[in-house]
Amino acid sequence: MAFLGPFRPFLIQYTLDTYVVNNDMNGLILMSIIIFVLLIIQSLFQVWSTILTNFLGQSVIRDLRDYVYKYLTGLKLKFYDQTPVGTLVTRTISDIETIADVFSEGFINITGDLLQIIFILILMFYSDWQLTLISLSVLPILLCAGYLFKEAVRKSFIEVRNEVARLNTFVQEHIQGMQLVQLFNREQKEFEKFKEINRVHRDANIRSVFYYSVFFPIVEIIAAISTALIVWYGAKEVIGETTSIGTLIAFMMYINLFFRPIRQLADRFNTLQMGMVASERIFKLIDNQENIEPNGLKKLGSIEGNIEFANVWFAYNEGDYVLRNISLKVNKGHTVALVGATGAGKSSVINLLSRFYEIEKGHIFIDGLDIKTLDILSVRQQISVVLQDVFLFSGTVMDNIKLFNKNITDEQIINTAKLLGAHTFISQLPNGYQQQVRERGAALSVGQRQLISFIRAMVNNPKLLVLDEATSSVDNETEEIIQKAIYTMMKGRTSIVIAHRLSTIQYANEIIVLEKGEIVERGTHEQLLSIDGFYKKLYKIQFVQHNQ
């Protein structure tokens, strides 16, 4: 393609100087046919090139997006605590989409444009080197303008991509929290914030457009000057009969072809700059190995279910410990309950058991094996966790229980639902187990979502069960159903239970009371009531509230 474009003016020059000047009609017709055939061939190459480059671009971003998403699924939860969701959405979707254009419209086309310029220069020097030097005398001005344009555009596109991420983050956060925005009458205030962010985003784009609005006219002026020099010098040469009329016309076509890819290079460079900025941000994300979860090599097979925390210290932020010297044991099939005020460190204990975070000091053992030496996936396959805030994905009830695990059958799910007392309510839904729950389970009540999470946890038949305040957000009637489900779930399983409602944990083998990250009391329900401590005070408060 790079050769066929510049070759046409060369053939036209030859036709004019050889056949037109000598009134050879047959030769003119023959050359016209040859030029037309070459034009058809060039067009076919253009079609094929467009298909191939776009296929390449889409294939690259498919693979890169797969890689980035897989990388994100292996990051520590601490990373997500510190990084806005909107920023990660921008990296995974729009930044990678920008990189596709680098392949479909950037590198390959830039290479073609540069090759075309080289072929043009070769043919120009071959035809008339003096006329070539005259026509290219404006090139230093073009190179200077191109360099200034490149530097300005690069800065502007970094700013544009930053503002896109900021806009995505704001929209993502406020759509998720729209109920709160409306509840506190913050619609207008939040709209004003959005307008300001959107205005800054617009201004950043306008600045980048401004550089193009200046650069393109400069290129046009330079091209016009070059054409004028060719006409001035070439006409003088034609009159002096040192240059043919065919050469003069061919040079005017060469100059047009020469500056066309330069104009396109500006657009290509725009694409390239945006792609480079986007790729820099993506590679900065995936090259950071500090956020990758460290993984052991030992596969955890079938386990007994003995858990031990030995002198565990943990901090979300370095030096600010939320757990201090925690030691506890949970024997196979036993239940340990964690009690304490908000922020005492209860949820941190179960986060560490699942290795969502890494401890600073101490050890955690499963059946005597340090979890740091174990493969994370094999550890989590043995644990089922029911959280207070149940997350359901868009899809059916069945999909949310299976989570697309092909090893789980519909029959297993229905039997588990019957065991936990959830089959009745699911069957009463309009479409039963195929009922769409909508995003985050918006179509279901809190209690219904909780029961679905119980089925999801139990259908895997886990050896270790963790319940994190599973009844704190439900009414008394639903709580009774959930309590029965909990007792059914804990039978024969090693369980760790966190609960504000002490009725859930009275039958635990051991109750551990946490305060400010330390164990302050431990024992059975009766033992803790026999001492005048934190647990007894908490029990009295709840007992009075229950009676009232």
136 forms beta bridges with none
**pLDDT at residue 474 is higher than 70:** no
pLDDT above 90 covers a percentage of the chain that reads 3
Residue 493: name the closest of 297, 381, 334, 326 by CA.
Answer: 334
CATH homologous superfamily, domain 307-547: P-loop containing nucleotide triphosphate hydrolases (3.40.50.300)
pTM, two decimal places: 0.66
326-329 long-range contacts (CB < 8 A, ≥24 apart) are 326/362, 326/517, 326/518, 326/519, 327/519, 328/510, 328/512, 328/519, 328/522
Strand order in the sheet with 369-370: 320-330, 307-317, 361-366, 369-370
Q: Could you check whether 4-291 and 307-547 share the same CATH topology?
A: no
393: pLDDT strictly greater than 50 = yes
Coil/strand/helix, residue 362: strand
CA distance 98 to 338: 49
Confidence of residue 475 (pLDDT cuts 50, 70, 90): low
> Across 241-245, 273-277, 397-401, which has the greatest mean pLDDT?
397-401
pLDDT attached to residue 310: 92
For the cut 60, the answer to whether the pLDDT of residue 429 exceeds it is: yes
Q: With pLDDT > 70 as the criterion, what percentage of the chain qualifies?
A: 92
For all residues of the chain together, what is the average pLDDT? 81
- In the predicted model, is pLDDT for residue 323 greater than 80? yes
In this predicted structure, the answer to whether residue 544 has a pLDDT above a threshold of 60 is: no
For residue 359, name the pLDDT band (cuts at 50, 70, 90): confident
On the 0-12 / 13-18 / 19+ scale of CB atoms within 10 A, 447 is buried
Q: How far is CA 254 from CA 15, 121, 148, 217, 261, in A?
A: 16, 9, 26, 20, 11
Quickly count: other Cβ atoms within 10 Å of residue 260's Cβ: 16
pLDDT at 44: 92
Q: How confident is the model at residue 445 (pLDDT cuts 50, 70, 90)?
A: confident
Output the CA–CA distances (angstroms, integers) from residue 547 to 57, 236, 507, 529, 543, in the order listed.
68, 111, 21, 18, 6
Tell me if 371 sits within 8 A of 365, measured CB to CB.
Answer: yes
User: Rounded to a whole number, what is the distance in angstroms from the first to the last CA of the chain?
Assistant: 87
Average pLDDT for 181-193: 82
Name the band, by pLDDT with cuts 50, 70 and 90, for residue 476: low
How do the domains of the chain map onto residue ranges? 4-291, 307-547
SS3 512: strand
Q: What is the distance between the alpha carbons of residues 338 and 78, in angstroms, rounded to a whole number?
A: 23
Query: Domain spanning 4-291: which CATH class is it, in words?
Result: mainly alpha
Strands ordered across the beta sheet of 494-498: 383-386, 464-468, 494-498, 335-340, 510-515, 518-523
Helix (H) or strand (E) holding 335: strand 335-340
DSSP three-state, residue 366? strand
Q: Which residue has the higher pLDDT, 37 or 22?
A: 37
Instruction: Give the integer Cα–Cα distance in Å for 204 and 208.
Output: 7
Res 438 pLDDT > 50? yes
pLDDT of residue 95: 83
Partnered with residue 304 across adjacent β-strands are none
